[in-house]
């Protein structure tokens, strides 16, 4: 016990994953901020950053299995269509 001096983890950050979503019909800053807001409301989402020019949203989130469908559903509820980018 207590032998791991090199073992300093910063809680959640290590487990976070990034997923890129392609979101259709975001046409202005209002659209991208509603999408970001919808995503950030999901438990497990750390950050969401939408880029209007590419239509892509980069989401930083925890590694839960079902979170991807939560992301897609939240975007749908905000009135947009999201697909997971390759």
**Residue 27 binds Cu ion, judged by CB under 5 A:** yes
Euclidean distance between CA atoms 42 and 61, whole angstroms: 9
Euclidean distance between CA atoms 82 and 51, whole angstroms: 13
Residue 47 is classified by DSSP as: E
**Residue 2 binds Cu ion, judged by CB under 5 A:** no
Q: Select from 23, 31, 45, 72 the one that contacts Cu ion (CB under 5 A).
A: 31
Residue 42 is classified by DSSP as: S
**Residue 30 binds Cu ion, judged by CB under 5 A:** yes
**Residue 5 binds Cu ion, judged by CB under 5 A:** no
Site residues (vs Cu ion, CB under 5 A) = 27-28, 30-31
């Amino acid at each position: 016990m207590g032998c791991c001096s090199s073992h300093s983890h910063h809680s959640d950050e290590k487990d976070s994953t990034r997923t890129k979503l392609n979101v259709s019909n975001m046409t202005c800053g209002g659209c991208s901020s509603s999408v970001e807001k919808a995503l950030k409301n999901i438990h497990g989402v750390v950050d969401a950053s939408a880029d209007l020019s590419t239509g892509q949203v980069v989401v930083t989130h925890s590694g839960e299995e079902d979170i991807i469908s939560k992301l897609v559903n939240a975007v749908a509820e905000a009135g947009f269509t999201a697909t997971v980018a390759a």
